[in-house]
């Protein structure tokens, strides 16, 4: 008899050979570790063990007794001896397979198992004998994948005993079935087939193969990587806090000691689990999480229990930490009312953060806010502004105009210092910033600043590449990244796809792919989708070019409506560096080091104000250099306008009036 070890691992003997495994490992997994094959029909890494085919039965000696167990779900918790081919185990295995063969004589997996066990003609005449080679053998893989894997909850078993069969509710395909075909892909017999391909793709199987590979990765790897199937994007809160990137108190700081109160585990506790995606039918990532039964404490629906769609990371950060609010219920409530009123949680959070900093700095006071205390952290004040905003009343009527207009208003009405407001007002092109601190990543400053629709991070998220992993040190590197990624992400928009499946869950071997930030295997997967749909082979580069045409056209559209020039890519200094002395001091070591190493001044000889001024000059100049580099890489003029050569190369010069618009905007040959 083998013995348990001191390190907690368990020594088990399987067919006389010894394996050391972690407690809870199944016999089947331990046997595979030793290279011992145990046949199994209902086992798959994509779903929890089920233990119903019983083909994997083995005999285990537990000391007190010897018994037959199913190896796929018997967890090893102490030293036992296992015999995978004992007479008693084989008796069960043979009879089970013989009975299956009697019922499904032509199913390949059953026939192969029977041959492997040396079985001849079965001794039974099964009343439900089914001679189809693609008969369902009731292993339940499809039902389990549909329910516990992809959470569509479409397939189920119906009937008892010999009448058991796989079915859909009431025998009809329900609307919840996205036709994802995960069921057909795990089916070992081919019993499930597509009846129809309504979109008439050129090669439906090719699409399904690529799709199932994504399903496999998401179901298998998300629980090891991002846990987005459990908490959505809210898993980012603690990561951003750890990397000093979480917006805190209007983007002044990147971390806060109270963040554990709004970390993802707190939201996991309130998110309903195991439910199909609420965003896109059939998406296996299912990151759209919802709180069921939140009881509202404020506003017109006070006292009601409601379903809240979210919160996501952006809401937790912009409308949570950025406001100094660390109460999950308050964030959920803000989320609900923003949705209810048709407001964006990011814009609301960021403008509220601006209001709070103005209140703290004395630009605002109780008199000016109509009696509201809007100090950072005020939940009551925040929710009241939100309700007023919806009603078009009081201070909410002012705040609802957004950061850009508030800057002007506060200067005109309250005599505020316009330069200070420009520095701390986190907007560009009139849109409020989203939830990342980009001060220490020049590439991300560009990612926000140059983005066509304003400072949203959906064009480029380069902070880790740039700041943490230092993969793009030069201007040329950064410009290349600010070419490739915005174009790549634009491609998702072109096709109505979500980007999360591209790089939130990564393939097992992504780190060895040569360009992990691009996730090459997934880019190839999208090429498979395009080719499968259109019948035309495409490369990743082809996809980028598709985007480039659209992206440049959009930039020119901006130009037409008065926005697409260099001056519109300007960003507030809060996005580039420390505005206040306190901000500087919070990262003094980093800033002093940059002054000494990059700027070439000795911080020890400067006052704090002088250091701030020197750092600002350096960083603002670097941002301009970045714009130059990016414009050049994109084939744009110094003023940020696509050149005539570029639009010709892209073939969008044929658009009526486009070339004339460019010429009128000062673009020359």
Partner 1 sequence: MPKVTVANLDAIAAAARQRHQGWKAMLMVCAGTGCVSARSLPIRDALREEIGRRGLEREIKVVATGCNGFCAHGPICVVQPDGVFYERLKAEAVPELIESHFVRGRPLEEFLFRAGDGERPVPLEKDIEFFAKQQCIALRNRGKIDPEDIEDAIRAGAYQALKKVLAEGIEGDELVRRIVRSGLRGRGGGGFPTGIKWQSCLAAARQRGVRPYVVCNGDEGDPGAFMDRSLVEADPHAVIEGMLIGARALGASEGFVYIRLEYPLALQRLRKAIAQAREWGLLGADVMGTGMAFDLTIHQGAGAFVCGESTALMASMEGRAGEPRAKYVHTVEHGYRDRPTVLNNVETWANVPQIVRNGPEWFAAIGTGDVSQSPWNGSSGTKVFSLVGSVRNSGLVEVPMGITLREIVFDIGGGIPDGRTFKAVQTGGPSGGCLPDSKLDLPVDFDTLVDSGSMMGSGGMIVMDDRTCMVDVARYFVDFLCEESCGKCAPCREGLVNLREVLTRITRGEGREGDLELLEDLGAALTDGSLCGLGQTAANPVLSTLRYFRDEYEAHIRERRCPAGVCKALIRYSITEDCTGCTSCVKVCPTEAITGERKKLHVIDQTKCIQCGTCMDVCNDDAVVVR
Of 100-108, 282-290, 392-400, 583-591, which part binds partner 1 (CB under 8 A)?
Answer: 100-108
Cis peptide leading into residue 610 (ω within 30°):
no
Of 70 and 345, the one with the shorter C-beta distance to partner 1 is 70
577-582: long-range pairs with CB below 8 Å, 24+: 577/439, 577/615, 577/616, 577/619, 578/439, 578/612, 578/615, 579/252, 579/420, 579/423, 579/424, 580/252, 581/608, 581/609, 581/612, 582/252
Subset of residues 353 to 372 that bind partner 1, contact rule: CB under 8 A: none
User: Taking a C-beta distance cutoff of 8 angstroms, is the pair 499, 529 a contact?
Assistant: no
Counting residues that bind partner 1 (by CB under 8 A) gives 39
Rounded least distance, CB 6 to partner 1, Å: 20
Determine if 216 is a binding residue for partner 1 (CB under 8 A): no
H/E stretch holding 491: helix 475-495
Rounded least distance, CB 97 to partner 1, Å: 9
Rounded least distance, CB 394 to partner 1, Å: 45
Rounded least distance, CB 342 to partner 1, Å: 36
Subset of residues 138 to 177 that bind partner 1, contact rule: CB under 8 A: 138, 140, 156-157, 159-164
Select from 4, 34, 92, 281 the one that contacts partner 1 (CB under 8 A).
Answer: 92
Residues in the chain: 669
How far apart are alpha carbons 485 and 107 in whole angstroms?
48
Of 85 and 470, the one with the shorter C-beta distance to partner 1 is 85
Of 127 and 562, the one with the shorter C-beta distance to partner 1 is 127
DSSP letter for 287, please: -
H/E stretch holding 482: helix 475-495
Select from 78, 85, 91, 648 the one that contacts partner 1 (CB under 8 A).
Answer: 91
Select from 12, 25, 46, 103 the one that contacts partner 1 (CB under 8 A).
Answer: 103
Rounded least distance, CB 5 to partner 1, Å: 21
Tokens of 191: 């019993």
Residue 158 in 3-state DSSP?
Answer: strand
Rounded least distance, CB 93 to partner 1, Å: 8
Rounded least distance, CB 184 to partner 1, Å: 22
Of 72 and 501, the one with the shorter C-beta distance to partner 1 is 72
Of 124 and 414, the one with the shorter C-beta distance to partner 1 is 124
Of 90-98, 216-224, 225-233, 386-394, which part binds partner 1 (CB under 8 A)?
Answer: 90-98
Of 69 and 83, the one with the shorter C-beta distance to partner 1 is 69
Of 73 and 134, the one with the shorter C-beta distance to partner 1 is 73
Of 108 and 123, the one with the shorter C-beta distance to partner 1 is 123
User: Taking a C-beta distance cutoff of 8 angstroms, is the pair 372, 385 a contact?
Assistant: yes
Of 350, 346, 277, the residue nearest 314 (C-alpha)? 346
Subset of residues 107 to 136 that bind partner 1, contact rule: CB under 8 A: 123-128
Q: What is the 3-state secondary structure (H, E, C) of 577-618?
A: CCCCHHHHHHCHHHHHHHHHHHHCCCHHHCCHHHHHHHHHHH
Rounded least distance, CB 589 to partner 1, Å: 42
How far apart are alpha carbons 394 and 387 in whole angstroms?
10
Of 112 and 373, the one with the shorter C-beta distance to partner 1 is 112
Select from 21, 99, 275, 570 the one that contacts partner 1 (CB under 8 A).
Answer: 99
Beta bridge partners of 636: 642
Rounded least distance, CB 104 to partner 1, Å: 10
Rounded least distance, CB 286 to partner 1, Å: 20
Of 155 and 641, the one with the shorter C-beta distance to partner 1 is 155
Distances (CA, A) of 277 to 261, 339, 501: 26, 18, 13
Tokens of 220: 């298998």
Query: Mask: binding to partner 1, 43-82, rule CB under 8 A, as x and -?
Result: ------x-xxxxx-x---------xxxx--xxx-------
Rounded least distance, CB 166 to partner 1, Å: 11
Rounded least distance, CB 131 to partner 1, Å: 16
- Dump the DSSP string for 73-102: T-B--S--EEETT-HHHHHHHHHHHHHHHH
Q: What values do phi and psi take at 527, rounded to 5? A: -60, -35
Of 140 and 254, the one with the shorter C-beta distance to partner 1 is 140
Looking only at the bridges linking them, the beta strands covering 10-14 and 81-83 are parallel
Of 92 and 409, the one with the shorter C-beta distance to partner 1 is 92
Distances (CA, A) of 546 to 488, 527, 541, 553: 9, 12, 9, 11
Rounded least distance, CB 53 to partner 1, Å: 6
CB atoms within 10 A of CB 509: 9
How far apart are alpha carbons 518 and 523 in whole angstroms?
8
Indicate the angle between helix axes 379-391 and 345-360, nearest 10 degrees: 120
Of 49 and 349, the one with the shorter C-beta distance to partner 1 is 49
User: Taking a C-beta distance cutoff of 8 angstroms, is the pair 558, 564 a contact?
Assistant: yes
Residues that bind partner 1 (CB under 8 A): 49, 51-55, 57, 67-70, 73-75, 88, 91-92, 95-96, 99-100, 102-103, 123-128, 138, 140, 156-157, 159-164
């Amino acid at each position: 008899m083998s013995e348990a070890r001191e390190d907690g691992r368990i020594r088990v003997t399987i067919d006389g050979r010894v394996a050391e495994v972690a407690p809870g490992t199944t016999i089947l997994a331990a046997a595979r570790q030793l290279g011992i094959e145990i046949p199994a029909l209902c086992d798959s890494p994509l779903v929890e063990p089920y233990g119903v085919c019983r083909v994997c039965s083995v005999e285990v000696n537990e000391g007190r007794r010897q018994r037959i167990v199913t190896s796929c779900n018997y967890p090893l918790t102490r030293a036992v001896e296992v015999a995978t081919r004992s007479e008693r185990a084989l008796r069960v295995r043979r009879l089970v397979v013989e009975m299956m063969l009697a019922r499904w004589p032509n199913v390949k997996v059953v026939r192969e198992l029977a041959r492997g066990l040396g079985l001849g003609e079965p001794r039974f005449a099964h009343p439900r004998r089914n001679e189809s080679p693609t008969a369902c053998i009731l292993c339940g893989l499809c039902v389990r994948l549909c329910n516990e894997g992809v959470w569509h909850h479409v397939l189920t078993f119906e009937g008892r005993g010999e009448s058991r069969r796989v079915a859909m509710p009431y025998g009809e395909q329900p609307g919840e079935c996205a036709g994802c075909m995960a069921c057909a892909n795990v089916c070992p017999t081919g019993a499930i087939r597509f009846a129809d391909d309504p979109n008439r793709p050129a090669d439906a199987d090719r699409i399904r193969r690529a799709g199932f590979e994504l399903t496999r990765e998401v179901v298998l790897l998300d629980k090891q990587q991002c846990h987005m199937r459990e908490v959505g994007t809210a898993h980012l809160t603690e990561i951003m806090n750890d990397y000093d990137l979480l917006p805190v108190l209007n983007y002044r700081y990147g971390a806060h000691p109270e963040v554990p109160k709004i970390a993802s585990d707190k939201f996991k506790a309130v998110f309903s689990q195991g439910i199909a995606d609420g965003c896109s039918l059939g998406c296996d990532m299912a990151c759209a999480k919802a709180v069921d039964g939140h009881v509202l404490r404020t506003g017109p629906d006070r006292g009601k229990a409601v379903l809240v769609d979210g919160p996501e990371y952006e809401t937790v950060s912009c409308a949570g930490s950025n406001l100094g609010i660390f109460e999950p219920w308050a964030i959920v409530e803000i989320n609900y009312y923003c949705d209810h009123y048709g407001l964006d949680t990011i814009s609301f959070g960021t403008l509220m953060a601006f209001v709070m900093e103005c209140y703290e700095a004395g630009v605002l006071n109780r008199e000016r806010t109509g009696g509201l205390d809007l100090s950072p952290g005020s939940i009551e004040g925040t929710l009241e502004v939100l309700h007023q905003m919806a009603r078009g009343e009081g201070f909410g009527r002012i705040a609802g105009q957004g950061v850009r207009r508030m800057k002007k208003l506060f200067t005109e009405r309250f005599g505020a210092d316009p330069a200070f407001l420009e520095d701390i007002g986190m907007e560009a092109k009139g849109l409020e910033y989203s939830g990342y601190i980009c001060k220490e990543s020049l590439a991300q400053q560009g990612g926000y600043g140059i983005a066509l629709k304003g400072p949203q991070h959906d064009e480029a998220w380069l902070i880790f590449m740039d700041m943490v992993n230092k993969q793009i040190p030069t201007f040329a590197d950064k410009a290349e990244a600010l070419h490739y990624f915005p174009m790549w992400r634009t491609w998702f928009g072109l096709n109505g796809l979500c980007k999360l499946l591209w790089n939130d869950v990564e393939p097992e071997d992504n780190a060895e792919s040569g360009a992990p930030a691009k996730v090459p295997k997934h880019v190839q997967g999208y090429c498979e989708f395009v080719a499968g749909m259109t019948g035309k082979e495409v490369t990743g580069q082809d996809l980028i070019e598709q985007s480039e045409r659209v992206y440049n056209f959009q930039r020119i559209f901006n130009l037409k409506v008065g926005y697409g020039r260099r001056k519109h890519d300007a960003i507030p200094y809060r996005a580039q560096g420390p505005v206040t002395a306190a901000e500087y001091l919070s990262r003094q070591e980093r800033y002093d080091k940059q002054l000494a190493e990059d700027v070439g001044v000795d911080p020890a000889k400067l006052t704090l104000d002088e250091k701030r001024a020197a750092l600002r000059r350096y960083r603002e100049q670097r941002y301009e250099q970045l714009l130059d580099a990016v414009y050049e890489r994109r084939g744009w003029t110094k003023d940020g306008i696509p050149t005539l050569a570029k639009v010709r190369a892209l073939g969008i010069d044929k658009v009526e009036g486009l070339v004339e618009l460019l010429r009128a905007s000062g673009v020359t040959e």
